Amino acid sequence: MVSRISTVDPEGFFSTEPWCLGIIGLGYVGLPLLVTASQRGLRTVGFDTSGAHVAKLVGGSSSIDDVSNDSLQAALTSGSEISTDPDTLRQADAIFVCVPSPLGRNRQPDLSFIESAAAIIGRNARPGQLVSLESTTYPGTTNEHLVPAVEDAGLEIDTDVWVAYSPERVSPGDPMKTGDIPKIVGGVTPRSTEVAVAAYRRIVSSVHAVSSARAAEMAKLLENTYRAVNIGLINEMAQLADALDIDIWEVIEAADTKPFGFEAFWPGPGVGGHCIPLDPQYLAWRAREANFSTRFIDLTEQVNSQMPRYSATRIARLLNHQGQATNGAEILVIGIAYKRNVADDRESASLQVIEELVEAGAKIAVMDPHVGAERIREQGLTPIESEDDLSGFDIAVILTDHDRIDYKRIADQVPVVFDTRGVYRRIGLERSNVTAL
């Protein structure tokens, strides 16, 4: 049993070498964190509830795009322990919680995964541990769910354990490595902040301390709400530009020449993924509890959520121009992943566009080399695995602009192409049969 720590000395906190990091949740956040910590010489213990997922990981096979099999195997070789047994977390000096924070049926926060992790911590926390929540959530979650879990286990904040919040900042498909992305850290007390900062300094190159866990929770939601609002703005500008017969892509490129005070966002068929469409709703939900109306978030949701339908009407218009009804049209959809060069189709706007087209009677086939034919079939759709023969399609619709697609061959074979991502302009392939959003 580790002796109770009478005074908090963040450096002393690490006197037990090798220092051990425990991670709950080995998904697109937890697994890169485990591998990064291992690469930085820490002992790591990973826990996940999915036996199948753990079996694959223990076998050295990473199902997370951003973690190579080699880097996973190197972590295992250097002693990383991956298990479905939560008791293994007792040996950890710090436990980072990296579990999903989805929305429920009525788009309210679903904290069930965080609550399950808190229960595990309550059963396995011991004196001398730091507990840090990384899942995106509303301000107050760490104080209201993680603190009671350790206190119910008879542990006292700052005497026995420290509790903090540090938002994950993983950007799927982005080559920037976990260790190079600055981390915000906020403890439930100043001491907890000190210890958490010292802990994170062993894993990432830059740590930014804030005064509380609530400030850190709010900072993360600000980051992603900022993104959602700006995407909503450019989606509305795209619709206005179309009504004014102006090329929005040219306009954004021009505005982006301004070296200050402007960041380019790009229109699309809608907003997908498990961050941007969801995170602002966590903030809106907490705001309602404080009788505060988040008008920007609500307007953003309205604009972005109607983009799939808007895209479908633009497709119908193009088909109509060539005397073809949507009903019965043969449509080739390029990309069902929620953004380019990833394999993830969660909350993908592409699937919502497809739903609109199928409802109008269109026949859909899908090409997405990242998502793959099996997953496309699972979605009840017909996969097309090469650009060899596309002559049977009335229109091709670019919904996700993966780099691995041969856009020239698509425009050469299909009479009309609707490009919701501006990819033809981006790659300098001007074609008269290609229309952009």
Question: Least distance (Å) from ligand SAJ to the CB of residue 375?
Answer: 17
By CB under 6 A, how many residues form the interface with ligand SAJ? 21
Q: Is 171 in the site for ligand SAJ (CB under 6 A)?
A: yes
Contact predicate 350/332, CB 8 Å: no
Q: Which of residues 214-233 bind ligand SAJ (CB under 6 A)?
A: 223-224, 227, 231
134, 168, 301, 419: which one binds ligand SAJ (CB under 6 A): 168
Handedness of CA 326, 374, 172, 216 (dihedral sign): positive
Question: Least distance (Å) from ligand SAJ to the CB of residue 223?
Answer: 5
Q: Which of residues 38-67 bind ligand SAJ (CB under 6 A)?
A: none
Q: Which of 170/203 has CB closer to ligand SAJ?
A: 170
Question: Least distance (Å) from ligand SAJ to the CB of residue 266?
Answer: 4
Q: Which of 62/136 has CB closer to ligand SAJ?
A: 136
Could you tell me which of 353, 339, 273 has the C-alpha nearest to residue 309?
A: 353
Q: Which of residues 288-307 bind ligand SAJ (CB under 6 A)?
A: none
**Residues 251-270: x where in contact with ligand SAJ by CB under 6 A, - otherwise, as a string:** --------------xx-x--
Q: Which of 92/185 has CB closer to ligand SAJ?
A: 185
**Residues 271-290: x where in contact with ligand SAJ by CB under 6 A, - otherwise, as a string:** xxx-xx--------------
2-20: burial string, b at 16+ Cβ within 10 Å, e else = eeebeebebeebbeeeebb
Question: Least distance (Å) from ligand SAJ to the CB of residue 134?
Answer: 10
Q: Which of residues 313-372 bind ligand SAJ (CB under 6 A)?
A: 338-339, 349
Q: Which of 66/93 has CB closer to ligand SAJ?
A: 66
172, 187, 308, 335: which one binds ligand SAJ (CB under 6 A): 172
Q: Which of 73/171 has CB closer to ligand SAJ?
A: 171
Q: Which of 172/383 has CB closer to ligand SAJ?
A: 172
Q: Is 32 in the site for ligand SAJ (CB under 6 A)?
A: no
Q: Which of 145/220 has CB closer to ligand SAJ?
A: 220
43, 169, 286, 375: which one binds ligand SAJ (CB under 6 A): 169
Q: Is 170 in the site for ligand SAJ (CB under 6 A)?
A: yes
| Choice among 21, 117, 275, 337 that is catalytic | 275
Question: Least distance (Å) from ligand SAJ to the CB of residue 173?
Answer: 7
Active site residue 20: no
Question: Least distance (Å) from ligand SAJ to the CB of residue 77?
Answer: 29
Could you tell me which of 92, 140, 75 has the C-alpha nearest to residue 114?
A: 140
Which residues are the active-site residues? 275
Interface contacts to ligand SAJ, rule CB under 6 A? 168-172, 174, 223-224, 227, 231, 265-266, 268, 271-273, 275-276, 338-339, 349
